[in-house]
DNA sequence: GCGACGAACTTACCC
DNA sequence: ACGGGTAAGTTCGTCGCG
């Protein structure tokens, strides 16, 4: 890019700014306005003197931190007219009310036509100055006769701004803006005032962002640290420029540690701050600790402190604060979502090279200087792993944020339902569809998908056919949408309707519903991306970007059906979800019938898949049939050389052509079974599927059990992990993991909803819940090996071996229950 | 009063 | 705080027994 191009891009006629570029300083005497291009990172708004200003934080094309202030958008909401009075009269009525309440100067209103659940409606669009007063105005004015309900007064002003101007975070914006230079208390290179609303532009350039990854260590004699008394002993930081910094309370108080950290944040001035568990742990602790010490945790760009925001995350104004733990939720392969497990899964940490410290180990280590070195090293590795995970996930996170329109720091914290909704809101706006309020509705279950009984046993050469994007395709095909749904009492319109099988719900054939339009555009966009990916080098920035985007599109597309059936959704309409599954059942049943007609043997089927004998000719015919009849793509996905079905649905294991095992639903795939049971079951499956030798599998299990009883198994392989899903007092039964959780809390540990409790079964007497101990409070010598043999190893392996005639007794070795009458409980040393 | 049995509770998976 | 369908382990109440 040459200088002239830059000037053309940057400057329109009347500028009065200094442009620094490549060491050149150019001054334009009469210049006022320029064109600024920047990457949008964060957005918030402030109300000053009763007027809102939107603040767009970003990084400019020439790599400067910028804040763009825009006051152009007037806040507004809608009042739905119920048709009892003439709209003009109602408009007069609310104007009178405004005068009476002395609101008139701040307010204006007009009549508009919109659509609400597809029906044309007349609304009053009410503008006001202060967006924080929207709810007040709405409730005052909706008392007027002729007003049904108020709408969109629950849309936050900063979201409103992005929606109405069609702007998406994590993308490039162009704006005509007036430079204001520096502004007191705002930590950016330059502040601008927008002259007109910004617009999105296509720039295939990676913004040059500064990332800061951090991790803290707190000191606590027992249990979880308490910020009012326990110090922050180490803060480790790794930044995207490759440098590392550590602050520790070696021989000083932790106020200095916090001070140093705050200074570093100012000095490095990150655009993105990343942590692991920082929303729930690090930030609240640092905040409390600072306040205890009479300090302020000033790390943002306006001299304020991190604060709680929507979706329960912590917001740092002007920067994006990301908690990678939120993104770990989207990696189902990792069952216990510790930093180490996620980093290891992503190939960032080498498992062997790392000493895994537990919080309980800290006090002991801190007492010795060699121990302190261990802590420092561990903490630094944490910060490095966090930066590594961020790098691995950043493209996806950026693209998801850009696609659904939620700012980067919110998109990770927002549950899938809110991500989908954010995207739908943007689509609805473009179609003139009003955004319904979130209302509490009763939960009424409805029928879902078809799952067939599998044909138990081993089968050779099995193909899995599945329908590509079945539910989204059906929603598009039959125009299933909240705005096309016809209530039972409504007469059929001339353009005709699609009628869902079984349930009879009707949907207009025309016009396109907004789900149809949204899904079509998502699916088409993904296809275009996939085509473009084919011609790109996998290492290029563009490839990474587009690949991340197509993945983001896929997750949003697939979640649309779930969203439709979610009672919390703004557009929840049960018949919409119910119709999708009904058409889904009809589709798969038709495919099954057709397979039967063709004489194609079916071994199993679940929702949108058929497991059939791998007969290419018949599969081709079946596939063609479905394509022609319904326009749906049914094609082979996986081919199993050999597959084993247990008697249960949703649980099977197959040998793939490349020699890998695909284990579905069985204990191997479950995080609430011990690693020991999972390893042995996997071993058994490998022997059965590859060597077809139940005898060898039995020997394998027996030898494992012998090792177990000789204490040759690792303690950590015996831990059971289960999630605390509600307040401990709400549990109706004394479940082992709940009892273990209570013991942790007794010892001063903090546990919250969603935490996983790791516990072991000890040889204490009583029920299982009496025997459960948090694993950090017990050791290998305490565990009840017989429990592990009888309730973990044997059931998990028998699940597979049972169908080969193997009995429990065949697996038992001395020390297990077959000898319990002869061997006293606890005696485990016969080998 | 006691044990067998099944319902209820609970979690995590599949698609 | 995204849907329904499903398996499976543990707890706990109930029923029948004499």
Write out A394-431 in H/E/C secondary structure: HHHHHHHHHHHCCCHHHHCCCCHHHHHHHHHHHHHHHC
pLDDT at A823 over 90: no
Q: Is the CB of A646 under 7 A from strand C?
A: yes
- With beta carbons less than 8 A apart as the criterion, state whether A685 and A487 touch: no
CA A66 to chain centroid, in Å, comes to 29
* Cross-strand bridge partners of residue A115: A120, A433
Average of pLDDT values for A311-331?
Answer: 95
**Pick from A368, A367, A345, A365: nearest CA to A355:** A365
**Pick from A578, A586, A583, A613: nearest CA to A598:** A613
3-state secondary structure A427-495: HHHHCCECCCCCCCCCCCCCCCCCECCCCCEEEEEEEEEEECCHHHHHHHHCCCCCCCEECCCCCCCCC
Q: Is the CB of A198 under 7 A from strand C?
A: no
pLDDT tens per residue across span A457-487: 999 999 999 999 999 999 999 999 999 999 9
How sure is the predictor about A345, in pLDDT bands with cuts at 50, 70 and 90? very high
State chain A's mean pLDDT as an integer. 91
For residues A600 and A559, what is the distance between their CA atoms, to the nearest angstrom?
32
pLDDT at A3 over 60: no
Q: How far is the CA of A796 from the C1' of C7 (A)?
A: 13
Q: How far is the CA of A737 from the C1' of B7 (A)?
A: 22
User: Cis omega before residue A511 (within 30°)?
Assistant: yes
How does A576-608 read in b/e, with b if 16+ C-beta sit within 10 Å? bbbbbbbbbbbbbebbbebbeebebebbbbbbb
pTM over cut 0.75: yes
- With beta carbons less than 8 A apart as the criterion, state whether A811 and A683 touch: no
Given the structure tokens 């290492």, which residue do they identify? A539
For residues A300 and A67, what is the distance between their CA atoms, to the nearest angstrom?
13
pLDDT at A102 over 90: no
For residues A602 and A620, what is the distance between their CA atoms, to the nearest angstrom?
15
- With beta carbons less than 8 A apart as the criterion, state whether A745 and A752 touch: no
Give the phi and the psi of residue A757 in degrees, each rounded to 5.
Answer: -100, 130
Given the structure tokens 């104004």, which residue do they identify? A317
Cβ-based neighbours of A729, under 8 Å, separated by 6 or more: none
Q: How far is the CA of A380 from the C1' of C10 (A)?
A: 42
Q: Which residues sit close to strand B, CB under 7 Å? A: A 332, 335, 449, 466, 606-609, 650-651, 664-665, 669-672, 721-726, 730-733, 735, 737-738, 756
Q: How far is the CA of A733 from the C1' of C12 (A)?
A: 8
- pLDDT attached to residue A612: 98
**Pick from A392, A581, A603: nearest CA to A470:** A581
Residue nearest to nucleotide B13 (CA to C1'): A665
pLDDT tens per residue across span A211-238: 999 999 999 998 899 999 999 999 999 9
How sure is the predictor about A815, in pLDDT bands with cuts at 50, 70 and 90? low
- pLDDT attached to residue A813: 78
pLDDT tens per residue across span A689-735: 999 999 999 999 999 999 999 999 999 999 999 999 999 999 999 99
- pLDDT attached to residue A277: 96
Q: How far is CA A413 from CA A310, A323, A820, in A?
A: 9, 8, 51
Long-range contacts of A527-535 (CB under 8 A, 24+ apart): A529/A553
3-state secondary structure A654-670: EEECCCCEEEECCHHHC
pLDDT tens per residue across span A55-94: 999 999 999 999 999 999 999 999 999 988 999 999 999 8
Q: Is the CB of A597 under 7 A from strand C?
A: no
Q: How far is the CA of A733 from the C1' of C13 (A)?
A: 12
For residues A638 and A655, what is the distance between their CA atoms, to the nearest angstrom?
10
Q: Is A777 helix (H, G, I), strand (E, B) or coil?
A: helix
pLDDT tens per residue across span A267-310: 999 999 999 999 999 999 999 999 999 999 999 999 999 999 99
Given the structure tokens 């006769």, which residue do they identify? A145
pLDDT at A573 over 70: yes
pLDDT at A198 over 90: yes
DSSP structural state of residue A302: S
Q: How far is the CA of A650 from the C1' of C14 (A)?
A: 33
pLDDT tens per residue across span A367-379: 999 999 999 999 9
Q: Which nucleotide is nearest to A726 (CA to C1')?
A: B10
Q: How far is CA A158 from CA A74, A334, A603, in A?
A: 11, 35, 53
Chain C positions within 7 A of any protein Cβ atom are: 1-12
Q: How far is the CA of A401 from the C1' of B5 (A)?
A: 53
- With beta carbons less than 8 A apart as the criterion, state whether A466 and A610 touch: yes
Q: Is A605 helix (H, G, I), strand (E, B) or coil?
A: strand
Which uninterrupted H or E stretch holds A45?
Answer: strand A34-48
- pLDDT attached to residue A352: 67
Chain B positions within 7 A of any protein Cβ atom are: 8-15
Cβ-based neighbours of A686, under 8 Å, separated by 6 or more: A661
For residues A539 and A149, what is the distance between their CA atoms, to the nearest angstrom?
53
- pLDDT attached to residue A812: 83
Q: How far is the CA of A742 from the C1' of B10 (A)?
A: 17
- With beta carbons less than 8 A apart as the criterion, state whether A459 and A479 touch: no
For residues A816 and A676, what is the distance between their CA atoms, to the nearest angstrom?
16
**Percentage of chain A modeled with pLDDT above 70:** 94
Strands (E), A607-679: 609-613, 634-645, 652-656, 661-664
- pLDDT attached to residue A11: 38
Q: Is the CB of A650 under 7 A from strand C?
A: yes
Average of pLDDT values for A400-410?
Answer: 96
* Cross-strand bridge partners of residue A174: A37, A199
Q: Is the CB of A20 under 7 A from strand C?
A: no
Q: Which of A11-15, A197-201, A641-645, A675-679 has the lowest mean pLDDT?
A: A11-15
């Amino acid at each position: 890019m040459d200088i002239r191009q830059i000037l053309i891009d940057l400057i329109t006629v009347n500028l009065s700014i200094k442009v620094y570029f490549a060491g050149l300083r150019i001054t334009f005497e009469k210049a006022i306005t320029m064109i600024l291009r920047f990457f949008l990172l964060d957005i918030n708004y402030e109300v000053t003197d009763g007027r809102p200003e939107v603040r767009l934080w970003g990084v400019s094309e020439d790599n400067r931190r910028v804040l763009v202030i825009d006051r152009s958008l007037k806040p507004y909401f809608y009042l739905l007219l119920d048709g009892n009075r003439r709209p003009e009269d109602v408009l007069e009525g609310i104007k009178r009310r405004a005068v009476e309440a002395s609101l008139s100067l701040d307010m204006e209103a007009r009549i508009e036509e919109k659509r609400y659940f597809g029906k044309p409606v007349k609304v009053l669009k009410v503008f006001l100055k202060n967006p924080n007063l929207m709810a007040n105005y709405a409730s005052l004015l909706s008392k007027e006769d002729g007003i049904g309900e108020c709408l969109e007064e629950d849309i936050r002003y900063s979201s409103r701004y992005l929606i109405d101007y069609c702007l998406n975070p994590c993308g490039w914006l162009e704006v005509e803006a007036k430079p204001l230079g520096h502004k007191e208390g705002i930590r950016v290179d330059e502040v601008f005032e927008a002259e007109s609303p910004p617009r999105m532009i296509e720039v295939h350039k990676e913004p040059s962002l500064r990332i800061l990854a951090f991790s803290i260590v707190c000191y606590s004699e027992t249990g979880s640290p308490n910020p009012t008394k326990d110090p922050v002993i180490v803060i480790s930081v790794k930044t995207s420029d490759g440098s590392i910094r550590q602050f520790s309370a070696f021989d000083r108080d932790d106020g200095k540690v916090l001070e140093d950290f705050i200074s570093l944040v100012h000095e490095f001035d990150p655009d993105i701050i990343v942590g692991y568990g920082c929303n729930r742990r690090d930030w609240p602790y640092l905040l409390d600790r600072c306040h205890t010490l009479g300090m302020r945790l000033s790390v943002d760009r306006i001299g304020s402190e991190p604060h709680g925001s929507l979706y329960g995350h912590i917001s740092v104004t002007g920067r994006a604060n990301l908690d990678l733990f939120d993104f770990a939720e989207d990696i189902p392969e990792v069952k216990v979502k510790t930093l180490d497990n996620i980093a290891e899964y992503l190939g960032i940490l080498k498992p062997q090279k790392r000493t895994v410290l537990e919080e309980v180990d800290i006090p002991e280590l801190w007492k010795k200087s060699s121990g302190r070195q261990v802590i420092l090293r561990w903490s630094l590795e944490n910060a490095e792993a966090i930066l590594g995970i961020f790098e691995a996930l950043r493209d996806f996170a950026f693209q998801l944020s850009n696609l659904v329109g939620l700012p980067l720091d919110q998109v990770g914290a927002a549950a899938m339902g809110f991500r989908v909704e954010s995207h739908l809101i943007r689509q609805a706006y473009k179609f003139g569809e009003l955004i319904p309020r979130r209302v509490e509705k009763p939960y009424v279950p409805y029928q879902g998908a078809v799952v067939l009984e599998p044909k138990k046993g081993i089968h050779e050469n099995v193909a899995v056919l599945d329908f590509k994007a079945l539910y989204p395709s059906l929603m598009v095909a039959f125009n299933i949408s909240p705005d096309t749904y016809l209530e039972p009492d409504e007469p059929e319109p001339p353009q005709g309707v699609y009628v869902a099988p079984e349930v009879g719900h009707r949907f207009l054939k025309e016009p396109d519903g907004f789900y149809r339009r949204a899904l079509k555009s998502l699916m088409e966009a993904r296809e275009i991306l996939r085509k473009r990916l084919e011609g790109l080098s996998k290492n290029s920035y563009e490839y990474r970007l587009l690949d991340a985007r197509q993945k983001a599109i896929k997750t949003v597309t697939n979640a649309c059906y779930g969203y439709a059936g979610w009672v919390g959704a703004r557009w929840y309409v049960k018949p919409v979800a119910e119709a999708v599954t009904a058409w889904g059942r009809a589709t798969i049943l038709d495919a099954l019938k057709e397979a039967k007609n063709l004489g194609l043997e079916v071994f199993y089927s679940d929702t949108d898949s058929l497991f059939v004998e791998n007969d290419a000719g018949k599969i081709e015919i079946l596939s063609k049939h479905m394509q022609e009849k319904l326009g749906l793509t049914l094609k082979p996905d996986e081919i199993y050389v050999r597959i084993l079905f247990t008697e249960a649905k949703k649980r099977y294991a197959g040998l793939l052509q490349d020699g890998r095992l695909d284990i579905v639903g069985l204990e191997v795939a479950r995080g609430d079974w011990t690693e020991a049971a999972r390893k042995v079951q996997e071993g058994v499956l490998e022997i059965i599927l590859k060597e077809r030798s139940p005898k060898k599998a039995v020997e394998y299990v027996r030898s494992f059990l012998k090792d177990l009883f000789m204490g040759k198994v690792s303690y950590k392989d015996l831990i059971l992990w289960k999630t605390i899903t509600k307040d401990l007092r709400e549990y109706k039964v004394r479940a082992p993991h709940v009892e273990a959780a209570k013991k942790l809390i007794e010892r001063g540990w903090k546990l919250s909803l969603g935490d996983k409790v790791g516990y072991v079964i000890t040889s204490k007497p009583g029920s299982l819940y009496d025997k459960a101990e948090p694993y950090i409070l017990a050791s290998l010598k305490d565990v009840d090996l017989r429990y592990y043999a009888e309730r973990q190893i044997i059931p998990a392996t028998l699940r597979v071996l049972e169908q080969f005639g193997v009995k429990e007794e065949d697996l038992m070795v001395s020390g297990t229950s077959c000898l319990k009458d002869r061997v006293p409980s606890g005696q485990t040393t016969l080998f």
